[in-house]
Chain A
Amino acid sequence: MENVRIKVRDANLYYGDHHALKNISIDIYDKSVTALIGPSGCGKSTFLRCLNRMNDLIPNVKINGEIQVAGNDVNRYDVILLRKKVGMVFQKPNPFPMSIYENIAYGPRIHGIKSKTTLDDIVEKSLREAALWEEVKDRLKSDAIGLSGGQQQRLCIARTIAVEPEVLLMDEPTSALDPASTMKIEDLMENLKKQYTVIIVTHNMQQAGRISDYTAFFLNGEIIEYDKTEKIFYKPRDKRTEDYITGRFG
């Protein structure tokens, strides 16, 4: 039996009067890829941002219910430690305007690592894990903005890995990338899930089918169906899931 890494029970989220997430309950398993699918505005990104409390940045957001990561209630846990444990990769690659090396070393540094050799090791290890090392090892000091979009996104993955998270949240990480770069990142996820719990929001149904072990289908702020990916794709229980998967709406 797989370990539950993230446990959510009856979570509700309101943006002012708008009820954006309704009674969300889900168990997300360790060392697997869970895809969140659904039409735009269905709450999947909002849900993802509950897990590392990025919604705190938005005024007038109210959350109730229980959200646990590795047994800790996220809303009572220290937000700095939570975000160190639960890393996030964004839709648009957002490397900082500094060198490749500095981008990766930034996280470890703010968490107190000062030794140059330790930082060197972390930078190399993270870049290797993100399948970027071979491409950039000779120009670690050059600016990250000069990398291609796909490379930038892998750099962002490496930057996230560098603080040794347990969970990786990915908010449509390939939607701004070309097909070749997308493929590289999908290959990468295969390896990432060996060490991390990966949760990915995607608009691309084929992508969810290719890379995820579990899939949750969101609609209007609710989880309609959540199961192993092959079940969702081949034997959906709910008519709405089937309609969405087969492309009848969305």
Chain B
Amino acid sequence: MNEIKNVRHSRIKERLAFYLLWVFSILTIIVLALIVSDILVKGLPHISFSFLLEEPRKMGKAGGIFSVIVSTFYIVVLSVVFAAPIGIAASVYLTEYAKEGPVLRIIRYGTEALAGVPSIIYGLFGYSFFVVFLGLKYSILSGALTLTLMILPTIVRTSEEAIKAVPSSYREGSLALGATKLQTIIKIVIPTAMPGILTGLILGIGRVVGESAAVIYTAGSSLGVPDSILRPGRTLSVHLFTLASEGLSAENTYATAVVLITLVLIINFIANTLINKIFIARRR
């Protein structure tokens, strides 16, 4: 009798746990849906080709966001171009060459700590180092270099994990054929770890696109189309922040938010298909 009771009890508990988990997961989706739909409802009606292709007028109160899109594009591309090779090289060194010991532990601890530093701190450092000390002024270059520093820890960490996940039997197989360590890393280890490395890069791009604090103090918030990377520019997030905080135009604020969200979604989509493609091609 008791046994049956126990079974019934645990079955009820099981049910209860299931419904609770279900409710909470639905809750997170609902929150996300609310945010996205709020922005879409308020912003979508103001999206048009002219909004995307016209330059802002009256400090963004009127006109479009063309120059802002261009600046965002420049900053994203530049920071990835800087961060990817440095990040991958560093993670290769840390996983394949560095000997376990106090130095490696300090570097690991350092990258972990850096990944958690608030972006405004990076902005402050970027301002005093790139903008003032190196004399790069408020520019796309200063902004991109600052963001490079900001996303580097994430890229190093994810690449490290991806490289560590490459089975050592691949390395042994390659070395046993007479390959050097460098050949093994370039031709076997990095290609195998590529999906993971790309994930890190894309997470980095996501942070760059969404960042405003570190950019305002380094790339400035000039509304013109930058004709060189030494000129200042305003990214989407900074534009959104400025419009919202100065209460210039609710329509344009929400329309900009729509573009920002869409961009992030597109980046995620590209990342996922890219990663799936590589993975599935491998598994077949």
Quick check: is B57 within 8 A (CB to CB) of the other chain? no
Quick check: is A92 within 8 A (CB to CB) of the other chain? yes
With A94-B173, A106-B187, A156-B173 as known contacts, state yes or no: A81 contacts B178, CB within 8 Å.
yes
A142 CB, min distance to chain B CBs, angstroms: 6
Find chain A residues with CB under 8 A from B180 CB: 80, 110
Determine if B172 and A90 form an interchain contact, defined as CB atoms under 8 angstroms apart.
Answer: yes
Determine if A96 and B188 form an interchain contact, defined as CB atoms under 8 angstroms apart.
Answer: yes
Determine if A110 and B176 form an interchain contact, defined as CB atoms under 8 angstroms apart.
Answer: no
Interface residues of A, count at CB 8 A: 29
Determine if A159 and B177 form an interchain contact, defined as CB atoms under 8 angstroms apart.
Answer: yes
User: A143 CA to B284 CA in the complex, in Å?
Assistant: 5
Quick check: is B28 within 8 A (CB to CB) of the other chain? no
Quick check: is B148 within 8 A (CB to CB) of the other chain? no
Determine if B187 and A110 form an interchain contact, defined as CB atoms under 8 angstroms apart.
Answer: yes
A95 to chain B: closest residue by CB: B173
Find chain B residues with CB under 8 A from A54 CB: 172, 175-176
Most chain A CB inside 10 Å of its own CB: which residue of B167, B174, B180, B191: B174
Interface residues of B, count at CB 8 A: 21
A112 CB, min distance to chain B CBs, angstroms: 11
Chain B 154-188 interface residues, beta-carbon cutoff 8 Å to A: 167, 169-170, 172-180, 183, 187-188
User: A83 CA to B178 CA in the complex, in Å?
Assistant: 5
Quick check: is B105 within 8 A (CB to CB) of the other chain? no
Determine if B179 and A94 form an interchain contact, defined as CB atoms under 8 angstroms apart.
Answer: no
Pick the residue among B169, B187, B281, B284 that contacts A94 (CB under 8 A). B169
Chain B 205-241 interface residues, beta-carbon cutoff 8 Å to A: none
Chain A 82-103 interface residues, beta-carbon cutoff 8 Å to B: 82-84, 87-88, 90, 92, 94-98
B192 to chain A: closest residue by CB: A97
B82 CB, min distance to chain A CBs, angstroms: 29
Chain A 156-174 interface residues, beta-carbon cutoff 8 Å to B: 156, 159-160, 163
Find chain B residues with CB under 8 A from A95 CB: 173
Quick check: is A57 within 8 A (CB to CB) of the other chain? yes
Quick check: is A146 within 8 A (CB to CB) of the other chain? yes
B184 to chain A: closest residue by CB: A110
B100 to chain A: closest residue by CB: A59
Chain A 134-150 interface residues, beta-carbon cutoff 8 Å to B: 142-143, 145-146
Determine if A106 and B281 form an interchain contact, defined as CB atoms under 8 angstroms apart.
Answer: no
Determine if A97 and B282 form an interchain contact, defined as CB atoms under 8 angstroms apart.
Answer: yes
A171 CB, min distance to chain B CBs, angstroms: 10
A47 CB, min distance to chain B CBs, angstroms: 16
Quick check: is B58 within 8 A (CB to CB) of the other chain? no
B175 CB, min distance to chain A CBs, angstroms: 7
Determine if B178 and A90 form an interchain contact, defined as CB atoms under 8 angstroms apart.
Answer: no
Quick check: is B5 within 8 A (CB to CB) of the other chain? no
Determine if A84 and B178 form an interchain contact, defined as CB atoms under 8 angstroms apart.
Answer: yes
User: A195 CA to B225 CA in the complex, in Å?
Assistant: 70
Quick check: is A52 within 8 A (CB to CB) of the other chain? yes
Quick check: is A107 within 8 A (CB to CB) of the other chain? yes
Find chain B residues with CB under 8 A from A160 CB: 176-177
Quick check: is A194 within 8 A (CB to CB) of the other chain? no
Quick check: is A114 within 8 A (CB to CB) of the other chain? no
User: A110 CA to B169 CA in the complex, in Å?
Assistant: 18
Determine if B177 and A87 form an interchain contact, defined as CB atoms under 8 angstroms apart.
Answer: yes
Interfacial residues, chain A to chain B (CB-CB below 8 A): 52, 54, 57, 80-84, 87-88, 90, 92, 94-98, 106-107, 110-111, 142-143, 145-146, 156, 159-160, 163
19 contacts between A and B (CB under 8 A): A52-B176, A54-B172, A57-B175, A80-B178, A83-B176, A83-B178, A95-B173, A96-B174, A96-B188, A97-B191, A97-B192, A106-B179, A107-B179, A145-B282, A145-B283, A145-B284, A146-B283, A159-B177, A163-B178
> What 14 additional pairs, Cβ within 8 angstroms, besides A94-B170, A106-B174?
A81-B178, A83-B177, A84-B177, A94-B167, A94-B169, A97-B192, A106-B177, A106-B187, A107-B178, A110-B177, A110-B179, A145-B282, A145-B283, A159-B177
